[in-house]
Structure 1
């Protein structure tokens, strides 16, 4: 078993400097929204980087059309009443330690989630039964139209249950035992993860079966500052950026050996509003903030015209995002000013509103990288235009999560990465106050609509309708302001690597790295 000291050895020996990549080695920089992960434990973690996609497999995967395709399960069948699901498993799959993956593995895996942050993924499953070594049945407590999605997420990655139990808190930090195309070599929290190819891998998602990765060693670096990360790409220090800030798109496109791969985004930038902190305990002030944000100006000024203005909490690819017009939040300065007038806040001589001798001043929390800082400065100016003065407080990307848990934030600029409507429950459930529900919303009607959305549907159509109603009601309370829906822009050095185009996957994770080729 690796010791944590060994995990830190690589950087200590090199004095913090990276060793240049060898012929079959690739160095990639993680997206800013994946930095700060402290573990690769899929059961307990609330933040996992792309490394988790590569060290584990899941029962099912998703293709570029968000359709479900085989991964560890080669086929599945749902009973007409939704009360059982049967999965036929791929034969011959083994964990990194040589342990066979069988139906018993799945039976032993599900109970690991009891009492964990991610238990909700499998709350609808009563238990699993072994039908044969390669066939497992889920017996349900209730129908769950979202089960395949839950099984396809990175948090449904399947570790070896025996190794998971034996290693305890060290699992996911000192050692990882999965079935994925890469094995953990070392993990230095906050700095880098080094992965080694699993030469036995032959059960990839979708059509990617029959061969291991073409990369021998993959180093995933964490560089929180976007400009620093881009400089590393430009000077050859790294081979790939998993996310290229729009500031640098022109330089990539103008370079002879750098290229962009553009993928649909599955993340959203938004501004949570703490409904318990004055002045935002007044819904009129929250309404004003929601309509004071000029989203299109932000798309053009901060993101170079790429991506789109957001008007709700869900990415536009999801049917549950198609809410009624009256619940969409768009730029409307007249409405913002009227809401503040109605709330009794009057503009002073300096343009900042006052009430009862108190200035309308708040704090706006943000992350330390340059894009977040610039975005926050634009938001700050737009709020000031309607008479609200926001002081920007900047936190390190990892530290800000602990700060949120204090509940002291008023406004913040942040992002999430998810492509399912259940993200509404994650960020607005009364059972998740402080973090991740940093809006601190705890509304009885919202809780009723949440329950209907999460557990009350018998089929996909009912689920969509229930989540749409939940989405609309949350928006009517203004616990956040939507800002921006990005695209994913990957940059890579064409002298070093060749990327698959088109990529038949929703994200550049397992399938992308399996197809990536290294130039000699």
Structure 2
């Protein structure tokens, strides 16, 4: 992934969507395309229910089917889209959402406040197992919707029913208005409402109160500019067509074939052959020839991807911070970005992406500088393990850079280092969740919403949704919380920066690279842009006349 396989959010994801990078063979090509439709490549989504979609493939498709409450302007500030207004009270605890009139779902149902409340209650209810449930955790009453994990150390057992099925913090005022009461103030809450899990669902999505209708996910009904044409053809394609008389911003194209691939190389071959109109991430092995193949249709733009490896701190050999610091200093990030990624990524020297407000260069300091001499001294003094391994998902393009990183570690520290590929990202996460010894863990993160907190809380807070390495620091936790409850965004940033400074001392992960979109498109289309979330701008892309 960047963007092909997910971090599971409720199981621990924030979707921010964790990145897994799937690759694949081409899907079928029987899309009944018309002259004003486009073909965009993706990998097979994990899910298409908004509250359960925490990876970028599903999120891309849902962006065509749904219209969010807010989107983001060029300065990453939230701007009302489906919402008429989103207003906090004086303490930033209760937020009032008013909807724009006239919107309907694809089946003709009017979009009303109850549709948001029903969708979010379903997403937050623990037994439903939604991957994005974490994102409702700020809403009052969330804890009462959760139950203990039934799969404890004694083996699978039935979990007790939660105390409640609906969030007390959600109240419908009238058809066009609802309020959201948070369990603690959060000045930047409006930014969260642009994320996938906050889409509404129609009455037709439910067979009974809180129960999704069978088959709904294969024929999703949204409130957006495109509607599904037929059903989700798994591992092949998802075809959508323009909605007539859409009340929001109207796209310039009539439809999209989301063509599903199992290999990035096959997707690139289709792009060069003109059988695919947009590939949002050119594979590493094709970067050297992409300019010659595509000319000025080979483009780059900023995104929010943060690539790193995590230390499973529940393993004794990684509990000494000097071991962690030494391994980080043993890696020549610049050499890998130059030689493996051909400059398409940039060395990371901080723990958040440069695209978010509050980013500071080089917060990692000396710990992220290549210094093999000092690294070996530290490692030997700390009695680091004689062998290391980095486990990565083999369904993404990671082998080359992982092997290069291991070779650098070998040369710097004089210890054996091996890259180990797990067939799928989900397989890797399963082993980590079981606390199996997988060594260092290859991970990636793309923001769900443009706040520093989105890189800090989910990844490093105690019990954070995507804190798979078991890092825990009470002072860090408190600073993240204080930042969230601060009265202004500026005060929030100060606290979050203090929290990031603690990460630089503790080094629970090794920052490696920050990414950018490296994409290509066919001669058939123009006005192609890919945003910070790795999504194609579906409102601006058009077919060349």
The interval holding the TM-score normalised by the smaller chain is 0.7 to 0.9
Residue 365 of structure 1 and its aligned partner are, at CA, apart by 1.0
Distance 1:256 1:442, change over 3 A: closer
Residue 465 of structure 1 and its aligned partner are, at CA, apart by 1.9
Residue 39 (1) aligns with residue 83 (2)? no
What is the RMSD of the two structures over their aligned residues, measured on CA atoms?
2.9
Distance 1:395 1:141, change over 3 A: closer
Match of 2:108 among 74, 98, 109: 98
Determine if contact 2:446/2:533 at 8 Å carries over to the other structure: no
Match of 1:401 among 404, 409, 429: 429
Correspondence for 2:62: 52
Residue 283 (1) aligns with residue 321 (2)? yes
Residue 95 of structure 1 and its aligned partner are, at CA, apart by 0.8
Aligned 1:210-289 pairs, distance under 5 A:
211-223=250-262, 225-255=263-293, 259-289=297-327
Number of residue pairs the alignment of both structures matches: 475
Q: Partner of 1:220: helix, strand, or coil?
A: strand
Q: Partner of 1:108: helix, strand, or coil?
A: helix
132-141 vs 65-74, greater mean Cα deviation: 132-141
Distance 1:89 1:291, change over 3 A: same
Correspondence for 1:187: 232
Q: Partner of 1:234: helix, strand, or coil?
A: helix
Q: TM-score scaled by structure 1?
A: 0.82
Residue 480 of structure 1 and its aligned partner are, at CA, apart by 1.0
Residue 369 of structure 1 and its aligned partner are, at CA, apart by 5.1
Match of 2:478 among 448, 454, 457: 448
Q: Distance in 2 between matches of 1:169 and 1:384?
A: 54
Q: Distance in 1 between matches of 2:215 and 2:187?
A: 31
Residue 338 (1) aligns with residue 377 (2)? yes
Q: Distance in 1 between matches of 2:321 and 2:215?
A: 45
Q: TM-score scaled by structure 2?
A: 0.79
Q: Distance in 2 between matches of 1:138 and 1:118?
A: 18
Task: State the Cα deviation string for residues 476-497 of structure 1 (Å, max 9, x = none).
Answer: 2222111111111221001x21
Q: Distance in 2 between matches of 1:60 and 1:212?
A: 17
Residue 380 of structure 1 and its aligned partner are, at CA, apart by 0.8
Q: Distance in 1 between matches of 2:510 and 2:541?
A: 38
Residue 340 of structure 1 and its aligned partner are, at CA, apart by 0.7
Task: State the Cα deviation string for residues 124-160 of structure 1 (Å, max 9, x = none).
Answer: 4442444443333334443212211210112222222
Q: Partner of 1:186: helix, strand, or coil?
A: coil
Determine if contact 1:312/1:328 at 8 Å carries over to the other structure: no
In structure 1, the gaps of 5 or more residues are 1-14, 204-208, 346-358
In structure 2, the gaps of 5 or more residues are 1-25, 141-168
Match of 1:309 among 347, 361, 364: 347
Correspondence for 1:121: 135
Q: Distance in 2 between matches of 1:172 and 1:445?
A: 44
Determine if contact 1:257/1:493 at 8 Å carries over to the other structure: no
